[in-house]
Structure 1
Amino acid sequence: MAKEAEGGSFALAKWVRVLADEPRFLMLLPGLFWAGNAIVARSIAGEVPPIGLAFWRWTVAAIVILPLAWRHLRRDVPMMLASWPIMLLLTTLGISVFNTFLYMAAHTTTAINIVMLQTAMPIVVVLATYLIFRDRVSPLQAFGILVSLAGTLVLTAHGDPAILAHLDFRPGDLWMLAAVVSYAIYTALLRLRPAVHGFSFAFASFGLGAMLLLPFYVAETVLVGPMPASPGSLMAIGYVAVCASILAYMAFNRTVELVGANTAGLTVHLIPVFGILLAVLLLGERLEAYHALGIGLIASGLWLATRSPKSAAL
C-alpha cells in the first residue's frame, strides 16, 4: 500500500511538472479564475468594501501558501531582500493597485464596461514592453492579438456593433483603465523579478501586498465601515484568495516565464470566454451564435500568437 501511494504521488508530481511547462494549459487558468473574480466582485459590490476585500484576499492567500513556500524561503529571502526595489514595485502594481482599483471600479461601473476595458490589456502590455525594453512583436503575434481582440469585442457587444457605439462610460471606468495600465506594467516588468522559487515569490508578493493595503484598509474601516463577517463575504474571500490569487497568479507568472509578457497578456481575452461558459453551466443561459463566433476568434488568435517562429514557418 505504501509503495502504491508513493507511486501515485510520483505520477501526480510528474504530471504537475509537465503541466507547469505547458503554456497553453497555464493560460487557461487565469482566464477561468479571473472570470469568477469579476463575477464575485460585481455580485458583492454593495456588501463588501473594495479595499477590505483586497486586503483580506492577499492576507488569506499569503497564509494559505506559506506552508508550501516555507522550505524555499530560507534560501530565497536574501535574494528578494537584495532585490527589494523591484519586489516593491511589482507588488504595488500587480497586487495592491490592480485588484483594489478593479474592485473600486466594480462599485461604480457596469460589468460590460469592466470587460470591455480589460480587452485592451494585451495591447497595453505590448506598448509597455516596447517603451521599457524596446521589445517588438512578430507580425504573426500582432495578427493573433488583433484576432483575439476582435473575438472579445464580439462577446462584449453580444454580436451587435451598435452596443459598442453606445457604451455608457462612468467614473468607475477610469479606475478600471488605471488598473489595466498597472497590470500591463507589472506583466512587462516580471522579467526583472529575482530568480527565486514561485512559492517564495508568491508568498512575498501576497504578504507585502497586504501590508501595503493595511493603512488604507484601516482608513476604509473607520470612514466607510468594517468588513462584514457574513457567509457571502467569507465565501468571496475564500474564492479570490485561493483561485483568483494563488492559482491564477502562479499560472500567469509562469506563463510569462515561458512565452513572454506580450503573449501571456492574451490570457485576459479568455475572461469573457469562461464568463460565458460559467453562465451557461451554472445559470442555465443559452449559447448564441455570437458566442461561438467570439470564442472561435479568441481561440484562433491565441493559437496564432503562441506559435513559435519555427512552427509558423512549417
Structure 2
Amino acid sequence: MSETARPRTAPAWKTLGVGGAAGLVSCVLLQPMDLLKTRMQQERLPTATTATATQRLVRAFHSVVRDNGYGGLWRGTVPTIARNVPGVAAYFYTLNELRWLVAKWQVPGLSTPDNVARTQRSSTLARLSSTGNILSGALARVFIGLLLNPISIVKARYESSHYSKDAYPTLGASLRSLYREGGIRGFFRGFSATALRDAPYAGLYLAFYEQHKHWLGRWTHGESGAWWVVSASGLGAGILATVLTHPFDILKTRMQTTPETLLRDPSVAYRPSVFATARHILQADGLRAFADGLGLRCARKAASSMIGWSIFELGNRWVS
C-alpha cells in the first residue's frame, strides 16, 4: 500500500519524549497508591483476616505515616521513575512502531481496511482491528516488562514492609543484592505472573480504549479526538482491564516480596512459581486474598491511564 494511505509513524524522539513525560507525571502523582496496594497485597498478619478492605487500607496508611511520616508514602519513587519513565516511553514507542508495521503490511485479521482507517482518525496510533489491538498491546507490554523486571522487583520491595530501608539503600545496591540472592534468574522473579497480568491487561486495555473512543465519538457526533473523550476512554478502559487481570497482580506482588521465612513451611525450599504462589495464597489467606488492593489498583490504573494516554495522544498532536 502507499505511504499516503497511512501516514508514517511519529518520529522516535517525539514518541519517546511524550511517553516519558506521561510516565513521569503518573508515577510521581500516584506512587502512594502503589505503595499502599503493595502493603495490602503482601503477606497478611493473622489478625488481619477479619478486617475489611477499608480497615486494612487505613491501617496500612497509618503504619506508613507513623513509621516514616507522610513522605514515606512516596517510598519507592526512585525505582518507580527508573522503571516507568523509560518503560512507558519504550512501551509507547514499541506500540507505535508495531501498529504502524501491522497497518502498513495489512495483516489479515489484525489490520483495518484502508477506507475505514482514513475515515476514523480519532487516534494518533495506526488503527487496527480489535484483535490487532489486543495482540499489539500484549506483545509490546510483555517485551518491555521483561526488560524492566529487575527494577520492578526492587520497586515492589521498596514498597513492602518486609524489607527495611537498609536492605535496599540505593538502586544499584538493590540490583546487586538481587543478583547475590538468585543470580541472573533472580532478576526475573515473578515475571511469569507479570506476563500473565500485563499481556491480557495491555491487550484488553487497548481494545477497550479504542472502542470507548469510537462509541463516545459517535455519541458526540465526531468529537472522538477531544481531550475529554481521550481522558474518559482511558479511565474506563483502565478500570475494566484492571478488574479482569487483578489476581495476577496479587501473584506478582507475593512472588516478588515474600521472604522464605514467611512461608507456611520454611524448611521446604521455596521455588517462586505461579502455581506454588497461588496455592500458598489459598492455603494461607483464602480466595478473598485475590481481591486485595483491587480498589486501589483500579483507582491507580484508571488515573494513570487517563493521565498517560491524555499526555501521549494530545502531546503527539501539539508537539511539532
**Same-fold call, TM > 0.5?**
no
Task: Decide which structure has the larger Cα Rg and report it.
Answer: 2
RCO greater where, 1 or 2, for CA within 8 Å and sep 6 or more? Answer: 1
Tell me which protein shows more helix as a share of its residues: 1
- What TM-score do you get using the length of structure 1 for normalisation? 0.31
